[in-house]
Amino acid sequence: MIGIDWGTTAFRAYRLDPRGGVLDRIEREGGILTVPPGGFPAALREAIGPWLAEGERRVLLCGMVGSRQGWQEAPYLPCPAGPAEIAAAVVPLPFEGAACRLVPGLTTRDAAGVPDVMRGEETKLLGLLAALPPGAAALACLPGTHSKWARLEGGRIAGFATQMTGETRAVLLQHSILGRLAGPGPGSDTAFRRGVRRAGEPGGLLHHLFGTRALGLAGELAAAETASYLSGLLIGHELHAVLAEGQPAGPIHLAGSEALCHAYALAFAEHGLAHRRHAEDIVARGLALIAEMIAWP
């Protein structure tokens, strides 16, 4: 089968054996924002045509391709949800020569009743769940533009909360006065840790953000360290908010890019929290797991 994670800015396709092993992969730019209206079938065929020619007949897609801006909207499924609920809710897509299915995103509500949503991460979380003892309760963190913190219970995704950390960092660095202050340079773990510790002090995030500028003006933070300090500040505040809801009982299960996992691991260490790192392509495992439970034609 073919499993695809089609996000806003990236396209990742996996050719999978029946046990979820990755036989071949394609990673490229060409996220859904680059696809013209009505252009999804052609874009997909262009990408995976060779695999189809070799006989693949099942395609499962997850990610923003199932959003309003994507190929077709797959309605959000409410939590708690596991492989069975998600497989039962896949949406068929019209596509010549192969059976094509879309994984739905998930929705949840926090204690105050405010909704939250994810698309693509539900599949990663199922892949991650498959690596845990059956039925174990765990806290998972998928850092990114919109970091997802999920509670896993009884083999299902019980609930989750999104933190807009990555995007906030990006717009502040690119468009605010903090960006004008930041100079080029390699990431600094020391500056990052300093930001994480600052997040635990009084004043609030909006005060700490301005403090980044004041430290720069006072010559107490180098231009080359500003971006790392800002990351530490934001991830520190994210972690602070998550921990305020309760200390995790076991290690935090972490999956994401090399750079982000490195940063989050530093922040966890500052708080004395254990973590377990998972491979970035747990999404392939999740896709295989869902595919196994679908009644294909």
Would you count residue 112 as binding a second copy (CB under 8 A)? yes
Would you count residue 234 as binding a second copy (CB under 8 A)? yes
Region from 19-27, 43-51, 199-207, 267-275 binding a second copy, contact rule CB under 8 A: 199-207
Give the rounded distance of the alpha carbon of 62 from its chain centre: 12
On whether the CB atoms of residues 268 and 274 are closer than 8 A, the answer is: yes
Q: Using CB under 8 A, which residues numbered 15 to 44 contact a second copy?
A: none
Strand 106-109 and strand 147-153: the pairing is unpaired
Least spacing, CB of residue 121 vs a second copy, in Å: 13
Q: Using CB under 8 A, which residues numbered 118 to 157 contact a second copy?
A: 146
On whether the CB atoms of residues 161 and 242 are closer than 8 A, the answer is: yes
Would you count residue 167 as binding a second copy (CB under 8 A)? yes
Strand 91-93 and strand 99-102: the pairing is antiparallel
Region from 39-47, 57-65, 87-95, 169-177 binding a second copy, contact rule CB under 8 A: 169-177
**Residue number, 116 or 281, with CB nearest to a second copy:** 116
Would you count residue 177 as binding a second copy (CB under 8 A)? yes
Q: Residue-wise over 88-100: b if at least 16 C-beta within 10 A, else e?
A: ebbbebebeebeb
Backbone dihedral region for residue 115 (phi beyond 0: left; psi -120 to 50: alpha; all else: beta): beta
Would you count residue 249 as binding a second copy (CB under 8 A)? no
From residue 150, give the alpha-carbon distance in Å to each of 13, 191, 201, 220.
24, 28, 26, 37
Which residue has tokens 């305020």?
A: 244
Region from 55-63, 104-112, 150-158, 252-260 binding a second copy, contact rule CB under 8 A: 104-112
Would you count residue 162 as binding a second copy (CB under 8 A)? yes
Q: Which residues are at the interface with a second copy (CB under 8 A)? A: 107, 110-112, 114-117, 146, 161-165, 167-168, 171-172, 174-177, 198, 201-207, 209-211, 213-215, 217-218, 220, 234, 237-238, 240-242, 244-245
